[in-house]
Amino acid sequence: ALGFVVATLVAVPLGILCGLSKTMNGALNPLIQIFKPVSPLAWLPIVTMVVSALYVNPAELLPKSLVISAITVTLCSLWPTLINTALGVASIDKDLLNVGRVLQLPTRRTITKLVLPSSLPLIFTGLRLSLGVGWMVLIAAEMLAQNPGLGKFVWDEFQNGSSQSLARIIVAVLTIGIIGFLLDRVMYALQSAFTFSSQR
């Protein structure tokens, strides 16, 4: 959840900026295309080394394993939201933006009153994709970093090799899938609540 929230807070403003500015889109697009395909298997060792070297937590508010998982989820899950937000903003009817210019709306009001409402369907599509990616990355991070969770449980059962391990792994895989499905349903419900559909 922490990684997904951070990814959303980074991706949505950047996506709006890319959608409104061709210059910014041209500048950021190469970086997006370079980092988007990078696997969590590649990010995790880098994040682990950086956090281990720099992270100081005297009050034990956030465990190091949580910070590592959250940063890895952020790095892998922000791209779908960023790309879909930029696409949604760039696809807005130009007449709407022209009306904003005629009314001399400040940039902030143009974004909140015109840009965001028009691009919300695609933003939510990006959020749903990002949530799915984030959940998948979290399981992989738990498995590789041996953080407590379903991923570690699957790996431990695989290493155990007992006669019951296969059944437990299958149950864990089904649990992971069901939780992912429920997360998507929650995001879809939010999308239905906050976006306008002409079919209603």
Instruction: Assign 196 a pLDDT band (cuts: 50, 70, 90).
Output: low
Q: How many domains does the chain have?
A: 1
Q: pTM for the full model?
A: 0.80
Is residue 75 pLDDT above 70, yes or no? Answer: yes
Mean pLDDT over the full length of the chain: 84
Taking the C-alpha atoms of residue 145 and residue 19, their distance in angstroms, rounded to an integer, is 37
Judge whether 35 lies within some domain.
yes
Which residue's structure tokens are 């559909």? 197
- pLDDT reported for residue 58: 61
User: Which has the closest alpha carbon to 88: 112, 117, 122?
Assistant: 122
200 found inside a domain: no
Query: How many percent of the chain have pLDDT more than 90?
Result: 17
44: domain CATH number is 1.10.3720.10
**Residue 82 structural domain:** 2-194
Instruction: Please name the amino acid found at residue 67.
Output: V
- Residue 200's pLDDT is 41
- For the chain, helix (H) and strand (E) counts, in that order, are 9, 0
| Most confidently modeled range among 61-65, 74-78, 94-98 | 74-78
* DSSP state string for 49-69: HHHHHH---TT-SS-HHHHHH
